[in-house]
Amino acid sequence: MNGHVEVLEQRAHGQLARGDARGAIESLRAALSQAPDDPDLHAVLAIALLACKRRHAARLEAETAVTLAPELAEAHRALGYARMAFRDLPGAGESFARSAALAPDDAAAHLALGRLHAAAGRRAEARAAFERALLLEPGDPDPMVALGELELQAGRKGAARERALAALAELPEHEDALELMGQVLLAEGRAEEAREHALWILRQDATSEGAIRLLCAAKARRSLLLGLWWRWNAFMSSFAEGRTILILVGLYVAQRLATLALRDAGLATAAGGVSYVWLAFALYTWFGPAMFARSLRKELAAVRLRPDF
């Protein structure tokens, strides 16, 4: 690899860390014009394309990297992320396992495994993988943020804040760390500060979906109608998918038992009231995501009109 290509690749890594995936793609394309058979460039380009939601192109680049260098851990890791984008978790697991086998002391390999476990709802395994990644690379903000997200999902806001601050100390412009801090502030009821963090991200990456979601969540937090749904959704998100289903089934069973008990006691009006409350709850949680999505679209349109973005 010549010096200019190496500079372009390093620039792309920095752009990705700041959330500028489109800039990274341009840097990598310039590098590939000079070194078209470099597997590292194809692997990094796959990651940048995934950040732009171009999963088909990303998978093609990752497969190219694996073909060019079957023993390159980064190539298999990129292919794993591409497979995750298609919800092919078993295939992603194979790619990440191959990556970890080729580079057992590479923090990025364990970070990838942790993300796979997190996506599958295996939080204990995800935590172990993230902690391993951080042990191998103590200054890497990515595993810090990943661990912070797990802390926030478990309701440990203080621990999540510490992880976000540690990541930002390493890289103040780290997009995921800024988003995590915004989510922590939102969980603490500091919606306006969370909104400022979202705007901070958008000033460096106007297309950041995470920042837009944070911006709308901050808006919803201040709304009585959407605020209730947001709190419920945040609560349910703290559980694995299987636990969430059990909670919903449990609530339905409890509602039915309460209704039958009230009717048996001759309290038909109260029983009807419980049924209506359950119906209202079901409708509210059913239409809540649609209302939030509409708010998201409005906020996105507003942000795009901002000249400083």
Q: Report pLDDT for 222.
A: 64
What's the pTM?
Answer: 0.68
Which has more confidence, 281 or 20? Answer: 20
- pLDDT of residue 294 exceeding 70, the answer is no
Q: Report pLDDT for 212.
A: 74
- Average pLDDT (141-163) is 93
The rounded distance, in Å, linking the Cα atoms of 161 and 181 is: 6
> Angle, nearest 10°, between helix axes 21-34 and 3-17?
170
53's enclosing H/E stretch is: none
Least confident residue range of 18-22, 95-99, 119-123, 144-148: 18-22
- Average pLDDT (36-42) is 94
Structural domains of the chain ordered from first start: 1-133 (1.25.40.10)
Residue 77: closest CA among 129, 34, 51, 115:
115
Q: Report pLDDT for 138.
A: 93
* Alpha helix positions (H), the chain: 3-17, 21-34, 39-51, 55-68, 73-85, 89-102, 107-119, 123-136, 141-153, 157-170, 175-187, 191-204, 209-221, 224-237, 241-264, 268-304
User: Is there a contact between 262 and 274 (Cβ–Cβ < 8 Å)?
Assistant: yes
Cβ neighbours of 62 (radius 10 Å): 29
Q: Report pLDDT for 309.
A: 37
| 3-class DSSP assignment, residue 71 | coil
Which has more confidence, 269 or 234? Answer: 269
